[in-house]
């Protein structure tokens, strides 16, 4: 669509050309150095990620985080913390896409809605490994150049005395409601 009319202007600007959201649950298997008796706690920390546009319809997020599991062993007589860094790759589909972007140069912004978080941590059936369920959620925005068409008003005029057109006169009704001693009152 092109406007070659004197009443319209084309503005080239950066705008959101794509948007998507993805919720993921992952299961990780961690091998501690001792056979665990019970799980005492689990934390997911040190989350790192980056995002890039993969295709016209998707954004790829590559990231990693550490899983720290505090567990007991030797019939609950000793404890230890096992730490394991895991990596992931999420493909986020773009649910909103603007086909009118001017070029293929995009900025991709990914925001974590839900930081990686432990949902469940349990000892596997064979008793030698620990299984951790983790959730995370992202929203992504793809920013690109696009055109915006703006109608120009032919009757618009701009002058320095525009403030003179405002009516700042006080009516008699407004004056009657003014209380002259309002500054001297104490609540």
Report the 10 Å Cβ neighbour count for 116. Answer: 23
**Residue pLDDT, tens place only, 56-79:** 789 999 999 999 999 999 999 999
* Paired strand residues for 135: 25, 117
Q: What percent of the chain has pLDDT over 90?
A: 55
Q: Are 67 and 42 in contact (CB under 8 A)?
A: yes
Q: Please check whether residue 77 is in contact with residue 45, taking contact to mean a CB–CB distance below 8 angstroms.
A: no
User: Residue 118 — pLDDT band, cuts 50, 70, 90?
Assistant: very high
Cα–Cα distance, 79 to 84 (Å, whole number): 17
Segments of 31-57 assigned E as strands: 36-53
- Full-prediction pTM beyond 0.75? no
pLDDT of residue 74: 94
Annotated domain spans of the chain:
8-151
Chain-centroid distance, C-alpha 130? 31
91 pLDDT more than 90: yes
- Give the single-character DSSP code of 180: T
Q: Rounded CA gap, 61 and 51, in Å?
A: 4
pLDDT score, position 122: 95
Q: What are phi and psi of 34, to 5 degrees?
A: -125, 160
């Amino acid at each position: 669509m092109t406007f070659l009319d004197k009443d319209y202007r084309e503005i080239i600007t950066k705008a959101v050309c794509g948007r998507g959201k993805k919720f993921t649950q992952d299961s990780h298997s961690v091998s501690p150095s001792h056979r665990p008796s019970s799980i005492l706690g689990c934390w997911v920390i040190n989350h790192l990620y980056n995002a890039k546009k993969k295709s016209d319809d998707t954004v790829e997020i590559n990231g990693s985080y550490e899983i720290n599991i505090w567990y007991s062993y030797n019939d609950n007589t000793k404890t230890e913390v096992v730490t394991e860094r895991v990596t992931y790759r999420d493909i986020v589909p773009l649910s909103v896409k603007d086909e009118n972007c001017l070029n293929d140069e995009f900025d991709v912004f990914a925001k974590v809605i839900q930081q990686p978080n432990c949902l469940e941590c349990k000892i596997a059936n064979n008793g030698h490994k620990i299984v951790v369920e983790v959730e995370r959620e992202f929203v992504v925005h793809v920013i690109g150049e696009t055109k915006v068409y703006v109608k120009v008003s032919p009757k618009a005029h701009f002058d320095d005395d525009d403030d003179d057109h405002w009516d700042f006169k006080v009516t008699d009704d407004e004056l009657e409601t003014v209380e002259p001693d309002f500054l001297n009152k104490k609540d």
